[in-house]
Structure 1
Amino acid sequence: MTSILTNTAAIAALSTLRSINTDMETTQSRISSGYEIETAKDNAAYWSIATTMRSDNKALSTVQDALGLGAATSDVAYTALEASIDVVDEIKSKITAASEPGVDKDKVQKEIEQLQNQLLSIAKSASFSGENWVYHSADATAGTESIVGSFNRDGEGNVSLTMLNFDTTKSSLIYVDGDGAIDSNGDALLSQHITYAGTNGDVTADFSVMSLDVSTLDTAEKLDEALKAVDTVLQDMTDAAADVGSINKRIDMQTTFVADLMDSIETGVGKLVDADMNEESTRLKALQTQQQLGIQALSIANTSSQNILSLFQQ
């Protein structure tokens, strides 16, 4: 039935055209933004997951910064330990030289004092961003230093941090009292009285590497004991450097892991919400064609009413 009041064909064509235009708007939005799911109304579940994972990636970015700071601090500590080992090794050589008959021990001691001053300088300067793992005082005692290693989220949505811990009592070289004077208290390797393996068991010397004075060692036995004591400290310092090197290596590995994890999360989020540009461009071409056909169909439907008027013409 043909009616001049209700043009069913035009209504159908207009409805189809309206649907095509809506699809075109969606496709054009995806092409311009690059997202298939940009807001919660597009897909609430995927949008929620993507938003949470993006937030976690921001937290991991902060973890990267913390790891970088930790790596720098441990690098400085390792450099200080390595340089101090070389200096203590030189002190060991001076003790050997002082053991030779006829050597002026006072002159050897002056050389040792310069080396001791160098050890103090190394320890005090081994600071990064206010953190020093080899030089401690009553106000900044040795203890456990924590570095943020990772950000975690479990299956129930609970979040936590992974911490990388290092006990700086293992790397402490020098301890000073409240007045800044070198103190034998604490576990500092260079300022504490040295315990070494003697003939009848462990012996604790009445001096440290920093207080050693070969000019007062008037017998070969005392010089031999000093040599053993300093060699023991060298071994302990080597162990300390190995400990710092181990935490440094773990920081490097964790840094690489966090970077790879961030890339994986970003890729996963992309698979959830990114638009396939090849697919969207193809869909846009098809919708443009459909739109043109819809306009033509609507035009044809509208002309049908005018055709009725011709029936009334004379």
Structure 2
Amino acid sequence: MSSLMTNASAMTALKTLQMTNKSLDQTENRISTGYKVATASDNAAYWSIATTMRSDNKALSTVQDALGLGAATVDVAYTAMDSVKDVLDQIKTKLVSASQPGVDKSKIQSDISELQKQLQTYASSASFSGNNWLSVDSSSSSYNATQSVVSSFNRSSDNQVSISTIDVNITGVSLFDANANASGILEKGQALTTTGGVADSAGTDGTGDAATGTTASTAFAYDFTTNGAMTINNDDAITFKFAVNGGDATDVTIDRSTVDTALGTSDGKVGSSADMEKVMVQALKNAGIDAVNNTGTASATGVKVDGTTAGTVTITTGLKGTDASLVTSGTASSNNGNFYDVMKIDITNASADDLKAYSNAIETMSGKVTTAAANLGSVKSRIDMQQDFVKNLMDAVDRGVGALVDADMSQESTRLQALQTQQQLGIQALSIANSNSQSILSLFR
């Protein structure tokens, strides 16, 4: 039936054309924006995911900047530390030169003084953005022994976010500490006290008695009942000079290795006088002194160590009479293993023993600097790896977001051409449908 009031063909053609125009608008929008999901109305789920991940990527970009700042700080500290190692080597060379007979030590000291100033310069100059790890003041309210570098931004499955860091303990890196109660690795260590579980214990000199034929003895006292276990930590050390029967004084050192070797442990703890007896025997043997425990028999040139009396370790000579003697001197302790301050070494009037002690001190410091530099190198390597990972992670997130919301331009361009053709055909179909009314008019002519 033909009707002037209702043109079903025109209505169908118009509807089809409207749908084509809508699809065409959508395609043109995708081509112009580059997104198939540009707004939440396009696809709420994908838009929400993409928006969150873009936000996370911005946070990761900040993490990347923080890693760059941390890498620069570590690099500055490492560079200075490497230079400090070279200067310490030069000082050690000067000390060896000063050991030669007839050398003017005052002139060598002039060179050493300049090298000492250079060490201070290196440490104070190792600053990046106001952050200096080599020259610190641990008494300052702003001081933090643990320096943190932001390394990652994390989002859990329940959408809880967290920040991870790479932490650096700068107490093992600091060369100088302005705090009078702390020490850098180029400074004399702080004396150990009973508060820390360890105490300096000066021995009493002893001589034999010809009339009674007694041996000389000296005692080292430590009250384990009151102070608890004596703990020798990794860098702790107790040292003293010990002379037997009028011989030369020998340096004796008790450190973590001495304790653990003597007791067969790995925690550096000495729990009783009996334990201390074993530690003292080990320390004396390490120093080349013939020593036996309380059940042994000391030789005429050796000593016997007895810790059976609580709180006291007694050392006696195997030799009896007035020729027997024990002399202890120079008892000292250090919480970082250093018994000298590199800045206070002065060889102008140094004896051969002094030069030897200085050389050993420089060697110890050099080892600590090498260890610190190695640790900084490890941190720098980890930061570099994390920087690469964060960059790759950001790229992966971008790819994931793109897979969700980016428009396929090849597909959209093909679709555009097809829709433009459909639009033209739709217009033509609508034109034909509208011309039907004109055909009805001809019936009345």
Q: Which TM-score band (shorter chain)?
A: over 0.9
Alignment correspondent of 2:176: 174
Q: Deviations over 1:247-281 (max 9, x none)?
A: 11100000000000000000100000000001101
Q: Distance in 1 between matches of 2:365 and 2:372?
A: 10
Answer yes or no: is the 8 Å Cα contact 1:37–1:47 preserved in 2.
Answer: yes
Alignment correspondent of 1:275: 407
2:147 aligned with 1:145? yes
Alignment correspondent of 1:214: 347
Q: Distance in 1 between matches of 2:154 and 2:103?
A: 64
Residue identity (%): 52
Q: CA deviation at 1:196?
A: 7.3
Answer yes or no: is the 8 Å Cα contact 1:174–1:188 preserved in 2.
Answer: yes
Q: Distance in 2 between matches of 1:214 and 1:263?
A: 60
Q: Distance in 2 between matches of 1:234 and 1:263?
A: 44
Q: Distance in 1 between matches of 2:49 and 2:123?
A: 49
Find the partner of 1:201 among 248, 253, 256: 253
Alignment correspondent of 1:252: 384
Which TM-score applies when normalising by structure 2? 0.67
Alignment correspondent of 1:50: 50
Q: Distance in 1 between matches of 2:74 and 2:92?
A: 27
2:27 aligned with 1:27? yes
Q: Distance in 2 between matches of 1:186 and 1:2?
A: 106
Q: Deviations over 1:21-49 (max 9, x none)?
A: 00000000000100000000000000000
Query: Superposition RMSD on alpha carbons, in Å?
Result: 1.6
Q: Distance in 2 between matches of 1:141 and 1:190?
A: 19
Find the partner of 1:235 among 367, 372, 393: 367
Q: CA deviation at 1:216?
A: 3.5
2:414 aligned with 1:299? no
1:76-87 aligned at under 5 Å gives the runs: 76-87=76-87
Alignment correspondent of 1:265: 397
Unaligned runs of 5+ in 1: 178-182
Q: CA deviation at 1:193?
A: 4.1
Give SS of 1:224's match. helix
Aligned residues: 306
Q: Distance in 2 between matches of 1:18 and 1:142?
A: 69
Alignment correspondent of 1:108: 108
Between Structure 1 and Structure 2, which shows a larger proportion of strand residues? 2
Range that drifts further, 60-69 or 132-141 = 132-141
Q: CA deviation at 1:206?
A: 5.2
Alignment correspondent of 1:226: 358
Alignment correspondent of 2:196: none
Alignment correspondent of 1:180: none
Answer yes or no: is the 8 Å Cα contact 1:142–1:169 preserved in 2.
Answer: no
Alignment correspondent of 2:421: 289
Alignment correspondent of 2:296: none
Q: Distance in 1 between matches of 2:424 and 2:395?
A: 43
Alignment correspondent of 1:88: 88
Tell me the amino acid that sits aligned with residue 185 of structure 2.
L
Answer yes or no: is the 8 Å Cα contact 2:340–2:361 preserved in 1.
Answer: no
Tell me the amino acid that sits aligned with residue 215 of structure 1.
T
Q: Deviations over 1:154-205 (max 9, x none)?
A: 111010011100001111001225xxxxx5x423011234987974214656
Alignment correspondent of 2:120: 120
Q: Distance in 1 between matches of 2:189 and 2:342?
A: 8
Tell me the amino acid that sits aligned with residue 307 of structure 1.
S
Alignment correspondent of 2:4: 4
Give SS of 2:4's match. coil
Q: Deviations over 1:117-147 (max 9, x none)?
A: 0000110110000101100123364610001
Q: Distance in 2 between matches of 1:297 and 1:141?
A: 81
Answer yes or no: is the 8 Å Cα contact 1:50–1:272 preserved in 2.
Answer: yes
Between Structure 1 and Structure 2, which shows a larger proportion of helix residues? 1
> Radius of gyration: which is bigger?
2
Q: Distance in 2 between matches of 1:279 and 1:226?
A: 79
Q: Distance in 2 between matches of 1:142 and 1:45?
A: 45
Q: Which has the higher contact order (CA 8 A, sep 6+)?
A: 1
